[in-house]
A and B are shown apart, each in its own frame.
Chain A
Amino acid sequence: MTFFEMTKTVLKSVFSRPATLMYPVKPAKKTKATRGHVKIDPTKCITCRICQRKCPTQAICVEVKEKTWEIDQMRCVVCAICVDTCPTKSLTMDNQYRPAMTARGGLEKFTVAGPKKKEPVVADAAKPATE
């Protein structure tokens, strides 16, 4: 090993900006692909419960009768399988991480539109039964 081998690296470090971000002041780096947290557009959700069935951590709970969609953000592992499988694209992935929490919680409940288009189909299905 030669002497002063680290000098180049040291000089570079002295005259360059810090490698770290001043995080709370400057926002964290994020890319388009970053999986931050799951968001829902309640007007599009048809309560089909595919997201609930596919979720590997069982973080999503859909109540069909009450037309609610609930997610436990602390349970969610942000794998985005619900976003991929959602038939109406009501779920999207936001690339912003959720802020740290100081208390228990993370439950988010939404009242959703529910299966609008399905209703006439149900009425049609009921007709042959009566005939």
Chain B
Amino acid sequence: MSKQITIPFGPQHPVLPEPLHLDLVLEDEKVVDVIPTIGYVHRGLEKLVEKREYTEYVFIAERICGICSFIHSQTYVQGIEQIMGLEIPERAQYLRTIWSEYSRLHSHLLWLGCFADSMGFESVFMNAWRLREHILDDLEATTGGRVIQGVCKVGGVRRDIAPEKLDEMVKGLKGIEHELQDLTNVFLHDSSIQHRLKGIGVLSNDDAYYLGAVGPTARGSGVAIDIRETGYAAFGKINFKPVVEYDGDCYARCAVRAKEMFTSIDIIEQCAKKIPDGPVDMKVTGAPDGEYLSRAEQPRGEVIHYIKGNGKKNLVRHRVRTPTFTNIPPLVTLLKGCELADVPVIVLTIDPCIGCAER
């Protein structure tokens, strides 16, 4: 047996946008064990819930993450509405669905760019981020913010989208769809990309299930879990199928994300057709008394917000389980047995978002 050495990976590393630390135990060039460490960007946002009113905490819940921001606020608000027994207007449900799919699109495009860049595929990086700019422009025009939308509130949404603007958005997405098709074709069918991704970092179906993988990491291994199918917001009235791949390798996880972008565009189009007229918010009085476990599908997987209130303006407990946090045990399994040079690529295929994982 050769001598084991430990190599630190992160918290500062060219491929990592956020600080995740992995101690890689190597035998020659092979990774035999991985010890992950988080805790570099902990902000104590869950504790803050005791100091802020539950209506204002929406803005803090949204700032848990800088990429999947909208869905965090949506999940939190849904939890509060369930405790208080509020039936929010249908138009608000549809608007939430549209914006959450927009944020999924922009997150996946951001990931595609970062991932291509980590392998030195600069032109895909530039093109993915150019397309993402269209998405961000639409988000800014409709909500007022590019990545932090701040548009969810308890009892509905704060802004409405005019029907003309909605048509314009759908037309814009149609235009992007062709370019996106070209981009993903080039990315997924490129031989050098396939060389670096196929058969590498394989997560078996059983492992994905028992280690609690969520989102594209689970769906890449054939575990068809998509919380959108539970029908929260307006997803119950929309026809869509979760994208599932069965190989479990890096390529499968990339393919899931690439194909999910087209599902998102399709969902937005369906929403634009079905959206009813009516009010977008309702008056809310009182304070939540009770507890609820609210779930939603983020770009990276299932997010859970546990909310507990005692009938006062400040909540008692707020606990968030984010997708990246649950994807760390599968990541450790993925990395065991791979080559050192493949580590950056494998880490990026779970789309780590450490700001989320630490709150």
Contact = CB atoms under 8 A, between A and B. Distances in A.
Interface stretch (A61-69, A76-84, A106-114, A118-126): A76-84
Interface residues of B, number: 30
Contacts of A55: 56
Contact of A1 (B60, B123, B190): B190
A35 to B, nearest CB: 4
B142 A33 contact: yes
Interface in A33-67: 33-35, 54-56
B141 A84 contact: no
Contact of A79 (B59, B183, B185): B59
B241 interface: no
Interface of A: 1, 5-6, 8-9, 19, 29-35, 54-56, 77-81, 84, 93
B163 interface: no
A77 B150 CA distance: 10
Given A1-B190, A1-B191, A19 B140 contact: no
A34 B59 CA distance: 16
A6 B185 CA distance: 10
A78 B189 CA distance: 43
B7 interface: no
Interface string B187-220: 0011100000000000000000000000000000
B56 A81 contact: yes
Contact of B143 (A5, A33, A54): A33
Interface in B39-66: 52-53, 56-57, 59-60, 63
B59 A77 contact: yes
B145 interface: yes
Contacts of A29: 137, 140
Contacts of B189: 1, 5
27 contacts: A5-B185, A5-B189, A6-B123, A6-B186, A8-B182, A9-B179, A9-B183, A19-B130, A19-B133, A30-B140, A31-B141, A31-B144, A32-B141, A33-B144, A34-B145, A35-B144, A35-B150, A54-B56, A56-B52, A56-B59, A56-B60, A77-B59, A77-B63, A78-B145, A80-B144, A81-B59, A84-B158
Interface of B: 52-53, 56-57, 59-60, 63, 123, 127, 130, 133, 137, 140-145, 148, 150, 158-159, 179, 182-183, 185-186, 189-191
B150 A9 contact: no
Contact of B150 (A8, A30, A54, A80): A80
Chain A to chain B: the 7 pairs with minimum beta-carbon distance, closest first = A1-B189, A33-B144, A79-B59, A31-B141, A35-B144, A56-B56, A56-B59
Most buried by A among B56, B57, B179, B183: B56
Most buried by A among B137, B144, B159, B179: B144
Contacts of B186: 1, 5-6, 9
A56 B144 contact: no
A1 B123 CA distance: 17
A77 B144 CA distance: 13
Contacts of B185: 1, 5
